Structure 1
C-alpha cells in the first residue's frame, strides 16, 4: 500500500463509481456478492476498490477472511459514502443522481453558480463544449431539462436548485471523509467553515477559533459573515458547517437544529460622551429625539424594538442607519450623537474600554438565545467537535 498523501485529496474525483463499489462490498460483506449486485465481474470490483485504496493510501477492507471487514479507514470512508449517496438518491428516488459521474455533477454545480456555460467552463478549467456534454448527459440520465437559455443567461428549470443542494451535501460528506482520514494518519489539517452573525463576530467565534487552532494548528477555518437568511441557505446547502449567533425559530425548517449557549440581554447604546449619558433615568421619548442605528430590516431585534416604539406611542425619527457591522456601529456612535439598539455582548468590550455607554433603560421582551445552528443530519468531524467544545467554553464567560 502506498503511503498516505501529505495533502488533502479529492475523494470524489478519485471515482464515484469506485466509491459505489466499495460501499456495496461493505454492505454485502463479500466482493463476489457485491459483483453480483452490481452486475459486473468480481475482478472489476477488486480492481476498483484497490485503485481507490491506492488513491487514499489506506486499506479499506481486511481481506484475511471470506467475509471482509472494514478497517478504521474503511469505516470512515464507507460511513461518509453511505450518507453522500443517500443525498444523491434523494428522499423519494425520483431524481436519482447515484449513477452520475463526478464530471456531470461538477458541471451542474458550476453552471448553477455561474448561470453561464462559458463561465462554468472557465471555473472548471474545461472547454464550454465539454461542460455542455456533461450537462446533456446528466439531463438524459434524469430524463428532464435542467436549464433554459434566455437573453439573461441560463435559468434553472424547477427542481434544479434542489438537485444542486443534494450534490453539495454529498460532496460535503466526502470532504469530511478526507479530513477524517487525514486526522487518522496524523496529517490532519481539517477544514471548517463557520457562519457568523453580528453578536458572535467580535469575541465569541474568534476566541473559540484561536482555542481550536491550539489543538489543530494546521486547520483551515473560514469565518463567513452574512445575514441569517444568507447563512442559513449556505448551511442547508453544505457550504458552511454551522452558524453561530442569535438563534432563530426553526419550526418551518426541520432540516436545521439549534443549541443554546447562553441568553443575552438587549441594550440601548450611545457614545460615552452622548448627552443622555448624564441623565440618571432617560425616557424612551428622550431617546426618540435622536437618530438611530438599527439592525437590518427583518432581524427580530429590530422588529421587536420598532414594536416597542409603536406601543409607546412614539415614532422613530427619519434617517435610520441599518447595519449588521459591529465596527460600523462603533464608528457611528463615536462620531455622532446617534443611539443604537444592540445585544449587550456585542458591545461589551467597547463599554468596558469606556468607548460606549449603556443607557439605563430596560428593553422589555428582548432577551435572546445565543448559540449554534447546524444541519440536523450533520455528522461532525474531529475538528468540528473540537470547535464546538471551545465554543461552549468561550460562551461560558458570556453567560
Structure 2
C-alpha cells in the first residue's frame, strides 16, 4: 500500500459521490471506481457503500482513522527531519480557546521563543470540540485551554494547569456598570452573547442563571470568536462571559469592563495524543508547566 492510496481515500471520503471525488482527483469516474475496487481487494474488505451518496462501512471508518494517523505522522516526521538538517524551522501546532490564547498560551509562546528563536508556532483558536478533533486527526500537536469531558477520549492524555473563574463583561459605559452591587439575575435583563451549546462554559453559565431564578436566559448571539464578541459588546448593551484572566487583561487595554461577579471552577490544561509527542511539543509542555499559576 502506498501513501497515494491513503490520500485518494480521504478525498473520496469527503466527497458526496464517486464522480465528484474523481473530478477532485482529476480522474475519470471509471478510473476512480476501479481504483477503489483495487484498494478494497488489497485490504480484503469493503470500505465504501456505493449508494446514491457514498458512505463508509465500519471497516472504512477504521481505515479513515488509520489514513489520518499515518498521513499526520508522515507530515510531522518530514517537518522534524527538515528541522534537524536545518532546512526548515521547528514547527508546533497549538489549538486553544480564546481564554487560553490570551492567558497561558501567550505567556508560554513568549518564553518558548526566547529559548527557541527559530521555532514557528501555529496557533489555531476555536471550540474545544473542533480543536480536539484536530488533535485526533494530527492537524494539531497540542490543545491548551478549557477542559471538559472530551479530553477523556481514548488515545488522549491531559494535565490540569490551573482553575479559572467565569466573569461577566460589558462595555465600559453599560448601564450595569452603574449598579453598585449587581446580581446575576440583573444580567438576564439584557441580551447575551454566549458560548456554543453543550460547552462547559455554557453549561456553567446556564447553571448559574438557573440558581438565580433565570432559567429563561437565551442567547442573541452564539460564538467562539472573542474578536466578534468584543466588537458587538462595544457597540451594544449585550453581556458576555469570559475567564477571570482575560477579564483582567481587558481592563488594561480594552473598552470592556468586568462586572464584580464571578462563578465556577473552570479547569485549564494541556491535551496531547498519548505516546505521540514531538520533542518540540515536549519542550512547550515543560514551558507551560513552569509558568506561575
TM-score (norm 2): 0.86
Q: Secondary structure of 1:265's partner?
A: strand
Whether the 8 Å CA contact 1:250–1:257 is kept in 2: the answer is no
Structure 1 residue 372 and structure 2 residue 273: aligned?
no
Structure 1 residue 275 and structure 2 residue 175: aligned?
yes
Gaps of 5+ in 1: 1-99
Structure 1 residue 338 and structure 2 residue 238: aligned?
yes
Structure 1 residue 178 and structure 2 residue 78: aligned?
yes
Query: How far apart in 2 are the matches of 1:138 and 1:111?
Result: 12
Match of 1:21 in 2: none
Larger RCO (CA under 8 A, 6+ residues apart): 2
Whether the 8 Å CA contact 1:188–1:218 is kept in 2: the answer is no
Structure 1 residue 224 and structure 2 residue 124: aligned?
yes
Q: Secondary structure of 2:87's partner?
A: coil
Structure 1 residue 169 and structure 2 residue 66: aligned?
no
Structure 1 residue 323 and structure 2 residue 223: aligned?
yes
Whether the 8 Å CA contact 2:5–2:39 is kept in 1: the answer is yes
1:326 shift after superposition? 0.9
Taking only aligned residues, the RMSD between alpha carbons, in angstroms, comes to 2.7
Greater Cα offset, 312-321 or 334-343: 312-321
Select the residue among 155, 168, 181 that pairs with 1:255.
155
Structure 1 residue 239 and structure 2 residue 139: aligned?
yes
Select the residue among 134, 143, 147 that pairs with 2:35.
134
Match of 1:386 in 2: 283
1:120 shift after superposition? 4.0
Match of 2:185 in 1: 285
1:177 shift after superposition? 2.6
- Against the structure 1 CA distance between its residues 204 and 117, is the aligned structure 2 distance closer, same or farther, given a 3 Å change threshold? farther
**What do residues 38-64 of structure 1 show as CA deviations (whole Å, max 9, x unaligned)?**
xxxxxxxxxxxxxxxxxxxxxxxxxxx
1:220 shift after superposition? 4.9
Structure 1 residue 143 and structure 2 residue 44: aligned?
yes
Select the residue among 11, 22, 29 that pairs with 1:110.
11
1:250 shift after superposition? 5.0
User: Which entry has the higher C-alpha Rg, 1 or 2?
Assistant: 1
**What do residues 12-50 of structure 1 show as CA deviations (whole Å, max 9, x unaligned)?**
xxxxxxxxxxxxxxxxxxxxxxxxxxxxxxxxxxxxxxx
Gaps of 5+ in 2: none
**What do residues 286-343 of structure 1 show as CA deviations (whole Å, max 9, x unaligned)?**
2222222211111111112212222222244555321111111112221111222221
Whether the 8 Å CA contact 1:235–1:242 is kept in 2: the answer is yes
1:128 shift after superposition? 5.1
Query: How far apart in 1 are the matches of 2:92 and 2:246?
Result: 23
Greater Cα offset, 317-326 or 123-132: 123-132
- Against the structure 1 CA distance between its residues 118 and 262, is the aligned structure 2 distance closer, same or farther, given a 3 Å change threshold? same
